[in-house]
Amino acid sequence: MLINPNVVLRPGQKAPVEGVYACNSGCGHRCCADAQGHALPDLPEGCCGDGWRLLRKGPPTDEERRYALRAFG
């Protein structure tokens, strides 16, 4: 599945693919979707973004999992 990295996904939307997503404000917030279809989390309090963009498709690394929010099914 091809995913346009410019598409903004809103919190609560299902992740189209497993991967690492970044907030669209550029402030560095990340979330990991361990599986396609998991709901993307709310953005952290104080974040000026309004959604998530796919940063990297594929399984999150251990380090990415440690420092990112989690998406859940």
Q: What are the tens digits of pLDDT across the range 14-44?
A: 999 999 999 999 889 999 998 999 999 999 9
Helix (H, G, I), strand (E, B) or coil at 39: strand
Which pLDDT belongs to residue 37? 93
| pLDDT top residue among 52 and 4 | 52
Q: What are phi and psi of 51, to 5 degrees?
A: -175, -175
Reported residue count of the chain is: 73
The encoded tokens of residue 68 equal 């990112």
* Model pTM score: 0.90
Q: What are phi and psi of 3, to 5 degrees?
A: -120, 125
| pLDDT top residue among 2 and 53 | 53
Q: How confident is the model at residue 1 (pLDDT cuts 50, 70, 90)?
A: low
